[in-house]
Structure 1
Amino acid sequence: MTSSVTPDDSRTDWRELIAILLLSVTAILTAWTGFQASKWSGAMSISFSQASTNRIEAARMEATASRKLSVQVSLFTQWLEAYQADDAELAEFLQARFPEPLATVFPAWLDSRPLKDPDAPSTPFEMKQYVIPESVEARAADATADGKFREALRNNQRGDNYTVLTIGFAAVLFFAALSERMRRRGAQWALLCIGGTGFVILAVVLMTFPKML
């Protein structure tokens, strides 16, 4: 007794093979996109946390800089009062105790002859040389926080993109699986073609996305 494979049976085998391959590969890519969405979501959380840490550091440095500036302004004001009162001993006493950066800038300010030159800075604090290190560090920390915040937003968008792909691949799985439930061959091929077309489009989009391992 011999058996033969009809053309219809051959076509059925090809359709089933394509459906199985589509389901298998799509299932793997669905898991991969879900994994990537999770990774980028974690990266977003880390970036937001780093941004928050840098904001706190910037605020701490700015508070330190403001406290130092307040102390130095107070000392300089006292020196001015002593100078105007011709109390040279007190003026020298205060000048010897000027903290940095006022101690370094003050002689340069005196050399600019502020009492005679109208273009000279009215106080040492207006000179370019007067820089409190904590103020610079605060600006740097604030800039870093801005960068981390923007990075977090990018990571969030990337996670959302992968989530959309996961949903898309799930739709491909739906069409591929549904094609196996149809009785009419035309309906089976139609659903399989829809799923296959969606798979190709999503796979091309997936290749353009950044990956995180």
Structure 2
Amino acid sequence: MAVDPPQTRISRIQDIVGVFVLSITAVLTAWCGFESSKWGGEMSIAFSEASGARIQAASAENEARAAQQFDLSVYAQWVLAEGEGDTELAQYIQDRFQPWFTVAFDAWQADGMIENAPFARDEYVPPGEVEAVELNERADAKFAEALESNQRGDNYSLLTVLFALVLFLTAMSQRDVRTWIGRVLLSLALVVMVVGVGILLTFPIKI
């Protein structure tokens, strides 16, 4: 039986390793492209949700501002009535305070009216104020989430470039070049592929 010379066997092994590296790297490149696309979609969704929450927060802030302006105008009439000593009118106005303002007003009077007005009390919470704070916090969180997803997508894109380098080096190693050059190129491709796989294992996955 004929036995292949050592040089021929080494070349055959090199070809097999090259095909293996090309196949694995092609799959990894496709996977990175898929993950980059998925994280890009997550980024778009998060940005949209952040924008929606910001719009809702602005609406809630407008509602709170309108309620506060109404309370201010009513309170100003109460102050005038009190200043003129018209207790009957003052009580009439007080009975028509909004519920949220009544809570703050009663607490303000109970504490001896230390603050300049009931609006400085923690108890004064016009409708829409709490919702505006919560929605702004949600918008901030979604915006940060979008930036994080964008970074993850960019990381996968950069890894795609790294695997493309592996494909290039492997393809060059299989061209008609000196044997030692082909081995060096293939060895370098293997090293870069291992490094890329190591980095890939640290990345979050989105299915």
TM-score range, shorter chain: over 0.9
1:113 aligns with 2:112: yes
Question: Equivalent residue for 2:14?
Answer: 15
Question: Equivalent residue for 2:35?
Answer: 36
- Secondary structure, in 3 states, of the residue corresponding to 1:208? coil
Following superposition, the deviation at residue 108 of structure 1 comes to 2.3
- Secondary structure, in 3 states, of the residue corresponding to 2:99? coil
Alpha-carbon distance in 2 for matches of 1:84, 1:175: 89
Q: Which amino acid aligns with 1:161?
A: N
Aligned CA distance change for structure 1 residues 189 and 83 (closer, same or farther; 3 Å): same
Aligned residues: percent identity?
40
Q: Which amino acid aligns with 1:83?
A: E
Contact 2:67 2:127 in 1 (8 A): no
Q: Which runs of 4+ in 1 moved over 4 A?
A: none
1:94 aligns with 2:93: yes
Say which is worse superposed, 129-138 or 194-203, in terms of deviation.
Answer: 129-138
Q: TM-score, normalised by structure 1?
A: 0.93
Following superposition, the deviation at residue 42 of structure 1 comes to 1.0
Q: Which runs of 5+ in 1 are unaligned?
A: 115-119
Give the alignment partner of residue 146 of structure 2, picking from 124, 142, 152.
152
Q: Which amino acid aligns with 1:41?
A: G
- Secondary structure, in 3 states, of the residue corresponding to 1:27? helix
1:190 aligns with 2:184: yes
Query: For residues 45-83 of structure 1, what are the alpha-carbon distances to aligned partners after superposition, in whole Å with 9 as ceiling and x for unaligned?
Result: 111111111111111100100000000010011011112
Q: Which amino acid aligns with 2:85?
A: D
Alpha-carbon distance in 2 for matches of 1:35, 1:121: 60
Following superposition, the deviation at residue 6 of structure 1 comes to 1.8
Q: Which amino acid aligns with 2:123?
A: Q
1:141 aligns with 2:140: no
Alpha-carbon distance in 2 for matches of 1:199, 1:142: 44
Question: Equivalent residue for 1:70?
Answer: 69
Q: TM-score, normalised by structure 2?
A: 0.95
1:167 aligns with 2:161: yes
Alpha-carbon distance in 1 for matches of 2:177, 2:199: 33
Say which is worse superposed, 127-136 or 56-65, in terms of deviation.
Answer: 127-136
Following superposition, the deviation at residue 133 of structure 1 comes to 3.9
Q: Which runs of 5+ in 2 are unaligned?
A: none
Question: Equivalent residue for 1:52?
Answer: 51
Q: Which amino acid aligns with 2:62?
A: A
Q: Which amino acid aligns with 1:4?
A: V
- Secondary structure, in 3 states, of the residue corresponding to 2:13? helix
Alpha-carbon distance in 2 for matches of 1:111, 1:8: 99
Instruction: Give RMSD over aligned pairs.
Output: 1.3
